[in-house]
Amino acid sequence: MYNSKIIGLGHYVPENVVTNDDLSKIMETTDEWITERTGIKERRWAKPEDKETTFTMGLQAAKRAIERSGLDKDEIDFIVFATLSPDYYFPGPGVQIQEALDIKTVGALDVRNQCSGFVYAVSVADQFIKTGMYKNILVIGAELQSHGIDKSTRGRSISVIFGDGAGAAVMTREEDNTKGILSTHLHSEGKHALELATEAPGMGTRWVTDILKENDPTDLSYMPYMNGTFVFKNAVVRFSQVILEGLAANGLEKEDIDMLIPHQANLRIAQFIQKKFELSDDQVFNNIQKYGNTTAASIPIALTEAWEQDKIKEGDTVVLAAFGSGFTWGSVIIKW
């Protein structure tokens, strides 16, 4: 059995910056409300005329990650792409990446675990590398949220939070079992599926054929719904549990954490976790202030920025943790 490790990171965000004040011009909201409740000051929303998509942003991030990994694109054995906002309902964007990178017909897997998507994707890649089935895996998390949210006052509790962007990592085999990804921990609790969800297009309770037949412009099935307070309360509990689970699995204590990269859901959640684990400002990386919540892209974007800013060094214990729709949650413990 091998370990896996991250050898290349990259991210991409659209150029278009949307500040809280910009939002207050199109809906009833204020910079004060958004900053106080979420910590967000601005986010990137792709301009429709730029024709950016989850795939195109993911591709940019992937190219940077591959370049920094020192590998040739043809050495990539497998692709894992996490997103809740694919370009097409099907197929997922993994195959678009395979085609655009012009690499041989390697497998491409799409992961649908929303805010936990990147953590799940890393876990999947880690298992393939551990068994020796694949050596080098490209893992991407990308989201185009801005084209799928209600930007009127009706949708403000969702739309002010979410942003567009992409992050990617190249993972490879590590022969030293004390280094790299030490363990990953995944959970779900499907009874809360509809507390944070977009119903359509779905084939279950709300048929697309019915939605089309009804042709009702007030139908919100295609819009994301979030029971914010309920999600918040569950998030703080599950984040803590899954970080503790990861530490315990490796005989580590909270004092051993050098860097925690939490999914950027809400600065208040990250601050709660920071306090609970008695971490300093230098030990928790947040960039939600600049990008909002970019769902599956948030951890790889934050990880890339933390690494670019030299906040992660060889030998550091780095913890990734996420919670989101499903509910799903998870953690990754890394010896960098």
Q: Is 293 in the site for ligand UT7 (CB under 6 A)?
A: yes
Which of 312, 325, 260 minimizes the C-alpha distance to 286?
260
The reply to whether 263 belongs to the active site is yes
Task: Give the residue with the Cβ less far from ligand UT7, 20 or 98.
Answer: 20
DSSP SS3 for 166: strand
Task: Give the residue with the Cβ less far from ligand UT7, 127 or 241.
Answer: 241
Task: Give the residue with the Cβ less far from ligand UT7, 41 or 64.
Answer: 41
Choosing from 83, 98, 146, 266, the residue that interacts with ligand UT7 (CB under 6 A) is: 266
DSSP SS3 for 71: coil
The reply to whether 3 belongs to the active site is no
Choosing from 11, 43, 44, 156, the residue that interacts with ligand UT7 (CB under 6 A) is: 156
Choosing from 8, 180, 324, 330, the residue that interacts with ligand UT7 (CB under 6 A) is: 324
Residues contacting residue 245 through CB under 8 Å, at least 6 positions apart: 185, 331
Choosing from 38, 83, 294, 304, the residue that interacts with ligand UT7 (CB under 6 A) is: 38
Q: Is 43 in the site for ligand UT7 (CB under 6 A)?
A: no
Residue span 168-207 as binding mask against ligand UT7, x where in contact by CB under 6 A, dash where not:
----------------------------------------
Return the residues of window 51-110 that contact ligand UT7 according to CB under 6 A: none
Minimum Å distance from CB 74 to ligand UT7? 36
Segment lying near ligand UT7 (by CB under 6 A), choices 50-58, 155-163, 211-219, 245-253 = 155-163
Among candidate residues 113, 286, 287, 293, the one labeled active-site is: 293
Alpha-carbon distance of 52 to 32, in angstroms, equals 30
Q: In what order do the strands lie in the sheet with 259-262?
A: 180-188, 328-335, 317-324, 259-262
Q: Are 163 and 293 in contact (CB under 8 A)?
A: yes
Which of 115, 106, 57 minimizes the C-alpha distance to 231?
115
Alpha-carbon distance of 257 to 255, in angstroms, equals 6
Q: Are 57 and 296 in contact (CB under 8 A)?
A: no
Among candidate residues 11, 185, 263, 287, the one labeled active-site is: 263
Chain centre distance of CA 273: 18
Residue least distant from ligand UT7 (Cβ): 228
Q: Are 37 and 52 in contact (CB under 8 A)?
A: no
Largest CA distance in the chain: 59
Among candidate residues 20, 113, 115, 287, the one labeled active-site is: 115
Count other Cβ atoms within 10 Å, centred on residue 66: 23
Choosing from 97, 243, 265, 332, the residue that interacts with ligand UT7 (CB under 6 A) is: 265
Number of residues that bind ligand UT7 (CB under 6 A): 20
Q: Are 164 and 294 in contact (CB under 8 A)?
A: yes
Q: Is 229 in the site for ligand UT7 (CB under 6 A)?
A: yes
The residue behind tokens 């068994």 is 131
Q: Is 33 in the site for ligand UT7 (CB under 6 A)?
A: yes
Alpha-carbon distance of 47 to 26, in angstroms, equals 16
Task: Give the residue with the Cβ less far from ligand UT7, 185 or 238.
Answer: 238
Minimum Å distance from CB 122 to ligand UT7? 17
Binding site for ligand UT7 (CB under 6 A): 29, 33-34, 37-38, 115, 156-157, 160-161, 228-229, 231-232, 235, 265-266, 269, 293, 324
User: Which residues participate in catalysis according to the annotation?
Assistant: 115, 263, 293
